Amino acid sequence: MTCSSLCFRPVMGGVFLMSWAPALGRANGLQEETPCLPTRVYASRMRRESAMETLGFGNRAPVLANVPWPEQVRPRTSDLRRSPILRRARSAAIRPSSERNLFSASSRPRSESANQRLSCSSAKFVRYAPVVGQGPGQTRISSSREGGALRMIDSDADIDAIRRRPGMFIGDVHDGSGLLHMVWELLANALDEHVRGSCRAVSVEVGEDGSMTVRDDGRGIPVDRVDGVPFVQKALTSLHRTPTFDGHTPHEHVGLHGVGLVAVNALSSWLSLEIFRDEKHYRQRYERGIPCDALEAVGSTSQTGTAITFLPDPTIFSNPWFNAGAIATRLRELACLVPSLSFSFVDHRRHHFHEPRGIRVFLERTRSPGKRIFGVVAVEEVENDISVEVAMEWRDHPRTSIDSFANIQRTTEGGTHVRGLLNGLARGLRDVEGARVNKRSLEQLRDIVASGLHAVVCVRLRDPTYASPTTSRLATPAVATVVSAVVRRAFAHELRHNAELRAHIVGQIKRVDHP
């Protein structure tokens, strides 16, 4: 048996990974020395993980514990600093495989040193992964694919990892793209069935409660037991290290790189599964990724297929509302790309919108970076036949975000009402903190109050004028005067009575004075 280490050579845009056999066998006291087949993999900055996948480690770094680096292949210190993959591989050399899960606790028991070695013979590598069904921290060596897929890590750890880092698996959980990605994952499974020639129709339904159902007439997800649990339960609770859970080809990705059903299950308040296969109707329910009961056959049937219904978890998604327009558009595209497959879409939701709190709600629902420092400051007045509504807050982020409207028409380029808002804030600050800011210009004060500002301003007037035919920029001069006066009074009053707001603004002044 021959052991080998890896040499990482930094190059432009990535690293080269090469296997080395000489000297390492002698360093470990091995009697036999059989050179390994050379393995050379290029990893770009965008696809570093593919190198580890090619070498047989999935997306994990190789375990090099207790294997010394031969002097002629020992990396330079500068190489360690420049190469992220090398830093990761080198750090893995001093940690057991059970601790190399980035999302699991760091206080897991260490495994035996013999189980931490990297074995190489004719470029074959031993893979390490926790076994499903064993206790946390318990590991076992798996040196081959079983049923076309690698061994899965602990399912509870997978669910917890996805729920703590949802953006790494489905994308943004605030702008709606993550919700759509969950739908695309289910559609991808139906498309796989169609590629195999067993699915002709796919239906997508949004329930009255906001749940999503994707149904196909394929063969139905397999229910055979794998490692003591049904295959479908493993697919819903365990991450896979291959393009598909069972290693089948061909495979279709509807969105980005698929993460499988487990991400959909983990990020749902509940998920209901129905399988029609082998003349039986199976059913199972999950809550936040955990099965509530065992998969059971509830009756006989002549149909085939799979139906999955899930409700996005509101503790994960800031706005768990599916964009029906985006779903319909994507289904139309797929109907053109896959003409032999039929798609249907139904939205059972009742769309009723009523917001008595007005632009306060608009401000709260508008996405802005940073964390809100305190509550919303709002003012609504009518002066000189011009109605002014303003809602504003400050966040611990330097970016300024202002949404503006004139006669309920969005003004994407701002205008006199936005200028009046900033001028009013600056003058209100001068009224209260005159001793601190009297020597500063109005422009400097505007920069101070605008840092971290997130606001909505809406004006209504009889005869607005715009700077362009597109009505994207308000140009009525009187609006700036009126908005400035209204905001100045309201902001000065808030500074005098809101100690938290005043402390934040004073802190901004001090940061400008002492950067």
The residues annotated as belonging to the active site are 185
Length of the chain: 515
Residues 6+ apart with CB under 8 A from 130: 98, 136, 137, 138, 139, 140, 153, 154, 157
Token digits for 512? Answer: 């400008």
Residue 327 burial by CB count (10 A; 0-12/13-18/19+): exposed, middle or buried? buried
- The alpha carbons of the chain give a radius of gyration, in whole angstroms, of 30
* Distance of alpha carbon 127 from alpha carbon 57, whole angstroms: 6
Token digits for 86? Answer: 């090398």
Beta strands 14-20 and 40-44 are antiparallel
Residues 6+ apart with CB under 8 A from 234: 132, 152, 155, 226, 227, 245
Q: Where are the beta strands (DSSP E) in 377-488?
A: 377-383, 386-394, 401-406, 409-410, 453-460
Question: 132: number of CA atoms within 13 Å, CB side?
Answer: 23
* Distance of alpha carbon 321 from alpha carbon 350, whole angstroms: 12
Place of tokens 């593919």: 50
* Distance of alpha carbon 289 from alpha carbon 303, whole angstroms: 27
Residues 6+ apart with CB under 8 A from 434: none
| Diameter over CA atoms, the chain | 96
**431 near 423, Cβ under 8 Å?**
no
* Distance of alpha carbon 365 from alpha carbon 372, whole angstroms: 12
**363 near 391, Cβ under 8 Å?**
yes
* Distance of alpha carbon 24 from alpha carbon 32, whole angstroms: 11
Closest by CA position to 455, among listed 422, 477, 484: 422
Phi and psi dihedrals of 26, rounded to 5?
Answer: -65, -35
Token digits for 371? Answer: 């964390």
Residues 6+ apart with CB under 8 A from 26: 33
Token digits for 364? Answer: 């709260």
In sequence order, what are the beta bridge partners of 393? 454
Place of tokens 């159902």: 213
